[in-house]
Structure 1
Amino acid sequence: MGQGTVNRLEIALAAIDAANAHDPDTTEGQPAAQLYGQRMSAELSRLFPDASAPLQIAARGQHIERWIMKRQEFPEGRAGYLEWRTELAKHHAKRVGEIMLQAGYDRADAERAGRMIRKEGIKRDPEVQALEDVICFTFLKWYFAPFAPTQDPAKLERIVVKTARKMSAQGRARVLDEFDLPETLAAAFRPRA
C-alpha cells in the first residue's frame, strides 16, 4: 500500500511498532517496547481523544528502541541515571523524527514531537504536559503493581510523589477518581494547599 492508501499517521505508528518489534524483552508475550507504545496510544486516546498527530506519534514512540541503550553503560548513582535518561530521550526523539520525515511529515512536526519526547516545556506546553500525564497513567495502570513490591516503601512513596508532581492538576484528579491507591500514596495526588 502506498501513502495514498494509508495515511502518514498510520505509516508512522506502524514504523514505530516495527522498530519496537525487535525488543528482546518478551516477558509479557510480545516485545516490551512495542507493548508499551501501544498502551501509551490507548491511554492517549482515552485521556486526550483529540490529540494532534505529533502528540499521537510522540506517545507511541516515547520509548522507541529503549533496549539499545542500557542503564549499565552509564555511571552509577543519580547523575548517571539522569544522563542515561537524557541520552535515551534524545535517541527516542531522533528516531521518531526520522520516522515522521519518512512518513511524509514536515520538519516542524517532527521537531514538535521531539520536543514532547524530550519533555521540553513540561508545565508550560499543553501537549508536552498531556504526554507526561499519559506517561504517568500508563505507569500507574500497567507497571505500578509489579514495580511496587520491588521497592522499599519509603522509596516507593518518593517515586509516587515525583510522579504526581509531573502531572497536571486535571491528571492528578483523574488518578484519584480512577485508581484505588493506599492513602499514603493517594495523598501525593490531592490538591496542594
Structure 2
Amino acid sequence: MPDTQDRFGPRFERAIALIDEANAPDPVTIEVDGRDVPKELTHARMLTAWVERLLPEPSEALLLAARAHHIRRWESPRDTFPAGRRGYLRWRRDLQVRHAAHARAILEECGYDEDTIGRVERLIRKETPKRDPEGQAFEDGLTLVFLETQLHDFALRTEPETMVNVIRKTWSKISPAARELALASDLAPEDRALIERALA
C-alpha cells in the first residue's frame, strides 16, 4: 500500500506491520494462487484492498480496522461456545470484542489517539450508524472477501435453499457498488449460478 503509507506515515506503517505480524502464525490456511497462506493474514489484506477499491480515500481508522478485523481469530474457535444459533451469536460477539481489544493494544503501542482507537473499535464491533459510509464499506468488504474465499466451501456443506436465503440476506446488506463488484468477481460457475438463483 505505498500510496496509503505515504498518506498516513510511519506510525500507520508500523501498526499495519504489527497487525500482520500478529496474524502471520495463523495455523489455519487457505489456498490462494496455488499456495497455502495464513487465513486471517490473507483475509485482512484482502479486506484492506476491497475497502480501498470501494472508497476513494478511506480513513486511517477504516484501514486499520480492516487490517485488524479478525486479528488472531483462531484463538477462539467456534466449538468453545455452545452449539446452535444462540451460541453462534455469543461467539461472534465475543470475537468482535476480542479483535477490538487486540487492535486497541497495538494502536496504543503505536501512539494513536483515543478518537482514532475508538473509531477502529466501533468499526470492528460493527457499532457504526447504518448510514456511515465507512461502516458500509467495511460490511461490503467483508462480504466480498467471503464471496471470494469462502462461499464455495460453505455452499458445499450447506443445503441449497439455506444458501439461497443466506445470499439474499447478505445481498440486502451491501451497497450497489459492492453488488457490482461481487457480480464482476471471478466466481466458480456453480457459485455464480447460486447467486443468480438467489437474486432471481
- Deviates further, 79-88 or 162-171: 162-171
* 1:129 positional shift: 1.0
* 1:187 positional shift: 6.1
- Could you tell me which residue of structure 1 aligns to residue 4 of structure 2? none
CA distance in 1, matches of 2:56, 2:148: 18
From 9, 23, 32, give the equivalent of 2:26.
Answer: 23
Deviations 1:121-157 (A, max 9, x none): 3522111111000101111122222322221101111
From 156, 166, 171, give the equivalent of 2:173.
Answer: 166
- Equivalent position SS for 1:120: coil
CA distance in 1, matches of 2:59, 2:39: 25
* 1:18 positional shift: 0.6
Root-mean-square deviation (CA, aligned residues, Å) is 2.0
> In the alignment, is the contact (CA less than 8 A) between 1:123 and 1:168 conserved in 2?
no
Give matches, 1:78-89, under 5 Å. Answer: 78-89=85-96
* 1:178 positional shift: 4.2
Distance 1:178 1:36, change over 3 A: closer
- Could you tell me which residue of structure 2 aligns to residue 91 of structure 1? 98
Deviations 1:33-72 (A, max 9, x none): 1111111112222222411111001111111010111111
CA distance in 2, matches of 1:173, 1:92: 29
Give matches, 1:1-193, under 5 Å. Answer: 7-28=10-31, 29-121=36-128, 123-178=130-185, 181-182=192-193, 185-186=195-196
Counting matched residue pairs gives: 184
* 1:168 positional shift: 2.1
- Equivalent position SS for 2:150: helix
- Equivalent position SS for 2:131: coil
One-letter code of the match for 1:43? W
Distance 1:69 1:145, change over 3 A: same
- Equivalent position SS for 2:57: coil
- Equivalent position SS for 2:26: coil
- Deviates further, 49-58 or 22-31: 22-31
One-letter code of the match for 1:86? R
One-letter code of the match for 2:118? E
- Deviates further, 155-164 or 50-59: 155-164
CA distance in 1, matches of 2:63, 2:57: 10
CA distance in 1, matches of 2:155, 2:96: 24
- Equivalent position SS for 1:30: strand
TM-score w.r.t. the length of structure 2 is: 0.83
